[in-house]
Structure 1
């Protein structure tokens, strides 16, 4: 370890994180880097220290192609459900990099891991799934720090993916993540660049004491000129 990471370096990694689609180089992430990223995910906080996640690493080209073809069919279905103006905006947006990344990580959740009494989950059972999502965030930030892109794919039928990776019934799908080296991280999130949706200002999300009391809009910082997004 070379020394502690500064707050500025950490914030910069958070700022640079993107949902990557088109920027994968086509080279696979090397095993040592992959294991460091998965180790970061495994160190995420979890309710009752239950660590309810599992990570299925998928690299077989035939499996990647099969999943990519399925996702492409779901993209067509979504496109066809849109009104013409939104369909035209959606047309150039790439929704996955399954084959280009060369590595898929399927993140799952197991509700009974940690025993029948998971400390902290009794009244809010969703905290188990929240824990798995925290593992994804750890993975994503660690990958960004390594110069590795991550793309979360959500255009699929869960039953299809369950069969594809042979999930047992006691595991719940949480995510398919495309993971691989990238040429660059886009400064502006894809959905903003292509006009689908822009992020909202932080002030709109901050409330004081009650939901109705919001902060005044802050002055825009030159260091962080863009709103957050994918």
Structure 2
């Protein structure tokens, strides 16, 4: 698929059919994620892949309250056969920038204008979303509620120095209604692009 087509066709898919995803496709998605930029080539990310039905069920049990999952949005999303959780590691960036070629031996977080560990991991997630589209599949990026992160960590043995920035659900698209959010329409370039001054 042409790159411009990938960009234009990419959207959040909230309804999946339960057909499995070819493992080779999942590997391509992950391989492309590894090509995301990272400050200082720190690569302070990790990706938890849940591609077995029992693991996917464990994820939903750990990250949602028992009464959740009855609405159509949740039901469609829960049918995704693969979940990939991108996790960022601040420690990897602070360690990397304490090395001699960077020289920030104090590991002071205030040197960072923004948390690049989250940004870089987010860019890796975007490469996943684009690859999913290129493969003719669908995906949705969504977050784990903050109050459920401890349960998620405990269920999957996620180290404390890795924080989930979201989840990429992926699989074969099933017919779904377009999100009500899309009614807002995409903002025009002249509303968000500023040249020379704001």
Query: Structure 1-normalised TM-score?
Result: 0.69
Partner deviation per Cα, 1:115-147 (whole Å, 9 max, x = no partner): 341759943251121100000011110110001
- How do 1:170-189 and structure 2 match up within 5 A? 170-183=161-174, 189=178
Unaligned runs of 5+ in 1: 77-90, 212-230
User: For 1:14, which of 7, 11, 18 is the aligned residue?
Assistant: 7
Q: CA RMSD in A?
A: 3.0
Task: Compute the displacement of 1:92 (Å).
Answer: 6.9
- How do 1:27-176 and structure 2 match up within 5 A? 27-69=19-61, 73=65, 94-95=73-74, 97-113=76-92, 115-117=95-97, 122-154=111-143, 156=145, 157-176=148-167
Task: Compute the displacement of 1:98 (Å).
Answer: 4.7
Q: Which moved more, 1:201-210 or 1:60-69?
A: 60-69
Greater helix proportion: 2
Partner deviation per Cα, 1:13-34 (whole Å, 9 max, x = no partner): 1111011111x22112111111
User: For 2:195, which of 185, 188, 208 is the aligned residue?
Assistant: 208
Task: Compute the displacement of 1:51 (Å).
Answer: 1.1
Contact 2:45 2:117 in 1 (8 A): no
Q: How many residues align?
A: 185
